[in-house]
Amino acid sequence: MRRLLIAGNWKMNKLQAEAREFAAQFLPRVSGVEKVEMLICPPFTCLSAMQSSLAGSRVVLGAQNMYGEAQGAFTGEVSPAMLVDTGCRYVIIGHSERRQILGENNFVIHKKLAAALENGLRPILCVGETLQERENQLAMQVVQEQLQQALTGLNFPAEQLVVAYEPVWAIGTGINASCNDAQEMCLFVRKGLESLFNRETADGIRILYGGSVKADNIAKFLEQPDIDGALIGGASLEAASLAAIVGVGENVK
């Protein structure tokens, strides 16, 4: 049975004091949560603050990005070992904002995935299509290419990888994919994983949905058989909001 994962991606938001205040408000609200795995991915500057604030709790720390090399002359980059040293257990890789705004391609993402896995991090691989690609009936082709080019040649236990399906047109727009559309694509992702690896591995990998997820719409997504949680942006910035989403997850499935 795959455990639900609710992951908050703060993107480029919050200073250290704000991160500590979030933890102070969030942790009491989720102290009784047992079924849902909870993950916070703050900006790099808040990782140390969150590591100390989350110590002793059930909330796990992750990062939003990393570089695919162990060390070297890569000004401004952060290595997987540095993330592990800061207490991270997860790292988001290939988010659409990095693909669309910063030009990351599938080959760069493949290198990052390999480095993350080698260092014991659990990568959350983001895949998804733009509105134009969906309207042109290319959504599945795009997602299939993203999976194949990012994952081919990698070996890992199923529990070490998470895939997040995020339709680019639904991120931060207030527009949601329908629960049926999300389930269809998450099932397609699972079948794609099966073709790359095997049925057992595909069945063990958690697949998240992301795209304007909130407490009032998360239940219909979590009820789908191939959706194992959510990667949440704006709604994760407020402690009460994220705690409400976690609470829905605790009572679903």
Which residue among the candidates 37, 95, 97, 110 is catalytic per the annotation? 95
Q: Which domain holds residue 244?
A: 5-250
Q: According to the model, what pLDDT value does residue 172 have?
A: 66
CB 14 within 8 A of CB 45: no
Which residue among the candidates 34, 104, 166, 200 is catalytic per the annotation? 166
CB 40 within 8 A of CB 32: no
Structural domain count of the chain: 1
Q: According to the model, what pLDDT value does residue 174 have?
A: 67
pLDDT of 62-106, one tens digit each? 999 999 999 999 999 999 999 999 999 999 999 999 999 999 999
Classify the phi-psi angles of 211: left when phi > 0, otherwise alpha if psi is within -120 to 50, otherwise beta.
Answer: left
Rounded to the nearest angstrom, the gap between the alpha carbon of residue 217 and the centroid of all alpha carbons in its chain is: 18
pLDDT of 128-156, one tens digit each? 998 889 889 999 999 999 999 999 999 99
110 is catalytic: no
184 is catalytic: no
Q: Domain holding 73: CATH number?
A: 3.20.20.70
pLDDT range class, residue 177, cuts 50, 70, 90: confident
| pTM > 0.85: yes or no | yes
Task: Please report which helix (H) or strand (E) contains residue 49, including its range.
Answer: helix 47-54
